Homo-oligomer: A and B are copies of this chain.
Amino acid sequence: MTAPQAPVAKLGHVAAQTPDLEESIWFFRDVMGFQLTEREGDTAYFRGMRDWEHHTLAITETGGTGVDHIAFRTVSPEALEEIADSLEADGHDVTRVPAGEETGQGEAIRVEKFGHPYEFYYDVDKPDAPEGKRSRLKNRVYGEQHGNRISPRRIDHAHVQDCVSPEHAEWLQEDLGFQVNEQYRTNDGDLWGWWFSVTALPHDFAIHRLEEGEPPMFDHVSYHVDSLQDLWTAADILAEHGIEPDGGPGKHAITRADFLYVSDPASGVTIELFAGPGYLNFEPDWEPIEWTEDEIGGETSHQWIGEGPGWEGLAYPDDE
Contact = CB atoms under 8 A, between A and B. Distances in A.
A284 B9 contact: yes
Given A233-B144, A236-B305, A282-B9, A277 B153 contact: yes
A153 B256 CA distance: 13
B305 A235 contact: yes
Contacts of A9: 282-284
A253 interface: yes
Interface stretch (A62-70, A92-100, A206-214, A222-230): A222-230
The residue among A143, A145, A224, A249 with the most chain B CB atoms within 10 A of its own CB is A145
Interface residues of A, number: 78
Interface stretch (A13-21, A39-47, A111-119, A131-139): A131-139
Contacts of A291: 138
B177 A1 contact: yes
Nearest to A79: B2
B236 A251 contact: yes
A282 B286 CA distance: 19
| A interface: dominant SS | loop
Interface of A: 1-7, 9-10, 31, 50, 52, 73-76, 78-79, 82, 122, 135-140, 143-145, 147-149, 151, 153-154, 177, 182, 199-202, 224, 226-230, 232-233, 235-237, 239-242, 249, 251, 253-256, 258, 276-277, 279-280, 282-284, 289-291, 295, 304-307
15 contacts: A1-B4, A1-B6, A1-B177, A2-B75, A3-B75, A3-B79, A73-B284, A137-B256, A148-B148, A153-B277, A200-B200, A228-B229, A232-B258, A236-B251, A249-B249
